[in-house]
A and B are shown apart, each in its own frame.
Chain A
Amino acid sequence: MEDLILELKQEIIAALNLEEMSPEDIDAEAPLFGDGLGLDSIDALEIIVLLEKKYGIKLSSASEGKAIFTSIRAIAEYVSQNRKK
């Protein structure tokens, strides 16, 4: 799980151009939206693309994504249970 968390942090930093951040700067338990990492709805859509591209997970709507994307750890748990590649 910890390896997957690190991988997700690296993938998200690259996909969202969080250029000045490193994996250590992201708290795996912290909220991704609003006060936490400060991501927005376009970022949520980009994470949906990332999950499909990298893990074969298809989400149909942004609201479905937002329910899963509460923290990096929550995404990692979802990925480990649903990944197709």
Chain B
Amino acid sequence: MYKISDNILSPLGVTTEENLRAVLDGRSELIRHEHIWGMPEPFCASMFTGGQSESMQYSGCSRMESFAIRSIYAALDGASFDYKGVDVVLILSSAKGNVELLREGDDEANCYRLGASARRIADVLGFVNEPVVVSNACISGVSALHLARLLLDSGRFRYAVVCGVDVQSAFVVSGFQSLKATSASPCRPFDICRSGLNLGEAAATMVLAGDDVVGGEDSGLWHIGRTSVHNDAFHLTSPSKNADGAYAALSDVLDGVGTDELGFVNLHGTATMFNDQMEAVALRRVGLASLPVNGLKGYYGHTMGAAGILETVLSMAAADDGLLPATLGFAELGVSVPLNITSGARHVDKPSFVKMISGFGGVNAALFASKGKWRGRRAAGSSVKMSKPSAGQKLKVEHTVRIEPDKVLVDDQLMALPDEDTHSFLTAIYRKYVGDYPKFYKMDLLAKLGFLASELLLQAEGGERFSVRSDRAVLLFNRFGSFHADKAYLKTISNPDNYFPSPSLFIYTLPNIVTGEIAIRNHYQGETSFYILAERDEPLMGQIVCATLEEPQIQSVIYGWVEAEDETHFCMDIKLVRLGK
């Protein structure tokens, strides 16, 4: 797919150009904050000022939604197609959306549900198709670009507008603090003195078109030919020591691309001990350790759902000027692999790069972007698309599971219910049908539901389990995101006299954690993604699942609709599917 236009909206500027100039000038809005939002611990973050927020506010929309709308409008300003057409998909990328609006006792989630937010944004802008929200923790931005590529490559849409956005609040900052992942001073990616990440606010947008719609080598447009998402299947918050997921994602996007054809790598570089070390290992494994690399968190902090898009857009804009920006905050290498990290801006001789990103839930993603002839020798010579031919094929359902508060169906057959009433319904089902995975008890409602349904589905499939595989994707959808976990976590920070943010509750406020639990249990190192829709939309879900199955390395998909409002209102439909005639 080709990038037609873009925008970055951040505390450093409201256009991509303003942001690029600020970064090249070495400016940052990372500021230490003390005693705001009633938080006892200081933190360092890059946030819009009250004046900036007010000046960008849209009536009837939240701060987060307003930033997204501004950014999308600005990006569309450079586009010459009718974005209100039926061949355009809007994809929103956000880890926590409007969670700052959640209050204790809220039972009506409408004001802050991400699906409803995306629909409001789509309505204000006039998009006609149902928007899709990608909520895949910190990799959401590159995940959203991955989804755009799948949907454009498969010909289901001609254009995609992909916007990443997140704002900061006591909810998010306290959560990262509870995980001991933050630094109260400006972050220092890859540095020996690094002590954690900073959070940031931003919105960033890319307007993209399919390979058949615009472009070509002489178009002067940036091309994103390869994207990949892989799970480590290792741990919910610690990356794999061998960087398995990041290595797999890098290997996918570099297939057919020589190291000598790459200008640089833009890293995730959060400045946590584990992330930066893991990325260094991944670069060594894939043979890129000597390439110039940089990280941008020293300017923006970690902008969560915006990060993957913002950092890709900024890397493109800088490369257009022949530059690779400095890694602000970096001075002395603090990872075990010698890396060629830019401590000052340097010249870039090739407009081609890889963007890496990783996140909680074990997720990793990468993309390869290039301009003109730098497509990769083998890649350019072969068919451009990574997709496999699927003409005439449709989804073939192999097994199904449905769980409701009082019944369980496997392949449409009612299952015998547990003969006990001392445990909750889901725990009783676990004890009767699974029983060998005590981590189940630590999961939140959404993860318990997804885990149990996938267990029953895989029991129905039979055959060998628990060996490492990358040919199966896990894609889950819902309306409410992690509403139930959000309310549970909020309780731990609402009372100033009883303020003890719980790390184990916070982690489940990232809805993709349920897909990570399934990946870890089953050693699935293929794609795992979590999507949020305004309403259940089977045709749209089917399009996403089919497009995923058209990836050459994916043979089967576990996908489902999982809704967990509270202990008595939940439902899960899950299917194991392949493509077939």
Contacts and interface: CB of A to CB of B under 8 A. Distances in A.
B503 A40 contact: no
A40 B503 CA distance: 12
A49 B438 contact: no
A12 B235 CA distance: 21
A62 B180 contact: yes
B438 A45 contact: no
Interface in B186-237: 235-237
Contacts, number: 43
Interface in A42-72: 42-43, 45-46, 48-49, 52-53, 60-62
Interface string B415-448: 0000000000001000000000010011000000
A16 B237 contact: no
- Between A18, A41, A62, the greatest number of chain B beta carbons within 10 A of the residue's beta carbon is seen for A41
Contact of A61 (B178, B180, B442, B507): B180
A52 B178 CA distance: 12
A41 B237 contact: yes
A81 interface: no
A51 B158 CA distance: 56
Given A49-B178, A52-B500, A62-B180, A41 B441 contact: no
Which size class do B's interface residues fall under? Answer: 10 to 19
Contact of A46 (B235, B238, B427, B503): B503
A52 to B, nearest CB: 7
Contacts of B503: 42, 45-46, 49
Interface in A16-51: 16-20, 38, 40-43, 45-46, 48-49
Contact of A40 (B179, B235, B500, B501): B235
B504 interface: yes
A48 B21 CA distance: 43
B504 A41 contact: no
B62 interface: no
Interface in B157-205: 178-180
A3 to B, nearest CB: 24
B502 interface: yes
A71 B441 CA distance: 22
A16 B441 CA distance: 9
Contacts of B500: 49, 52-53
A45 B179 contact: yes
B410 to A, nearest CB: 25
Nearest to A65: B180
Given A52-B500, A53-B500, A61-B180, A42 B507 contact: yes
Contacts of A42: 179, 236-237, 503-504, 507
25 contacts: A16-B504, A17-B441, A19-B427, A19-B441, A20-B438, A20-B441, A38-B438, A40-B235, A40-B238, A41-B235, A41-B238, A42-B179, A42-B236, A42-B237, A42-B507, A45-B178, A45-B503, A45-B504, A49-B500, A49-B502, A52-B500, A53-B500, A60-B180, A61-B180, A62-B180
